[in-house]
Amino acid sequence: MQELINKILQFEKVQLNDFNKGYLAGVAIVLLVILALLVLRIILALIFRKKRCSSIKMKADNGDTCVSRAAITSVVKSLEKEFKFISISRVNLYATKKAQFLDILIDFDASGGGLPPQSDKFKSRVLEAVGEVFGIHTIKKVHLNLRHINLDKAPVKTLPNAELPKIEARSAAGVEEKPFTPDITTDAADSSI
């Protein structure tokens, strides 16, 4: 091991033949190209990056109006009634230096037809609805990300308030447990809070 370290430290004194010089030059060029590509990728990522936004600010003469992502999400989710074969899971709002766009995660039911014609109608309807409700016309694109496709006959709909299965508590050592039920009765004398 000590001999290897000595050879590395005395690298300038070692005479290199032409093959070793060419090999080292090739390795150095490959490493420089890889480094240049990484730097270029970082620069391009910084220039064309998209940032997630929490709201869109609309400037006016008498003050600014800020529309939150949650408000935009509720308008987009209201379109599920019109497009019964598209179920909306999540809506994200992104912005670049020049424009804003929506990124919508959907579930699609193929029994209603193909995705391309319905997605085109859905995208234009989303831009129209956001423009009608909020007056926002700076959103330029709507990106749809397909999370799940249902090839059965029943449409896919997510249930945000679905009931969870009930878990029964087991008693220890054969002791019978009764579920807790709060007493909700109130008297007129007790309501003086």
Sequence-ordered alpha helix ranges (H) in the chain:
2-9, 18-47, 69-77, 115-134
Of 52, 63, 66, 112, the C-alpha closest to 86 is: 112
- 14-48 pLDDT, tens digit each: 555 667 778 888 999 999 999 999 999 999 888 87
CB 119 within 8 A of CB 50: no
Comparing 72-86, 127-141, 176-190, which segment has the lowest mean pLDDT?
A: 176-190
101-107: average pLDDT: 90
- 64-85 pLDDT, tens digit each: 888 888 999 999 999 888 888 8
182-192: average pLDDT: 46
pTM here is: 0.55
**Which tokens hold the place of 193?**
């809070």
Sequence-ordered alpha helix ranges (H) in 48-175:
69-77, 115-134
Q: What is the pLDDT of residue 39?
A: 96
Hey, how many other C-beta atoms are within 10 angstroms of the C-beta on 18?
7
